[in-house]
Structure 1
Amino acid sequence: MSRLGPFITLAAGAVLAAGLGVASITATPAPDTAAAAAPTPPPPPPLSSSPTSSPSPSRTEAEKIPKADYGGYVKGNGGLIAISVRDGTAVGYFCDGKAEAWFKGGEAGGRVVLKGPGTARVTATLGGGRARGSLTVGGARWSFSAPAVVRPSGLYRATAQVRGARLRAGWIRVPRPGGGYDQVGAAFVGQDQVRIPPLDAGRPTTPVTVAGATVRPQDVDDFIEEMQ
Structure 2
Amino acid sequence: MRLPALLTALVAAATCVVVGVAGGTPAAQAKDCVRPHGPLVAYGHSYLLSPQLGGAKASYLTLVATTLGVKPVIRAVNGGTTLNVDNLVHNGPTRWTPGSADLVVIDSGINDIGKKLPTAEWTGALRRVLTTFAVKPVPVILLVRPLQVSAPGHPGRDPKVIAAYAATQRKVASDFAAVRIVDASGGWNPRLDLSPLDGLHPTAAGELRLAKAVQNVAQRAFCSS
Taking structure 2 as the reference length, what is the TM-score of the superposition?
0.22
Bigger proportion of residues as strand: 1
**Higher RCO (CA < 8 A, seq sep 6+):** 2
Taking structure 1 as the reference length, what is the TM-score of the superposition?
0.22
**Structure with the greater alpha carbon radius of gyration:** 1
Bigger proportion of residues as helix: 2
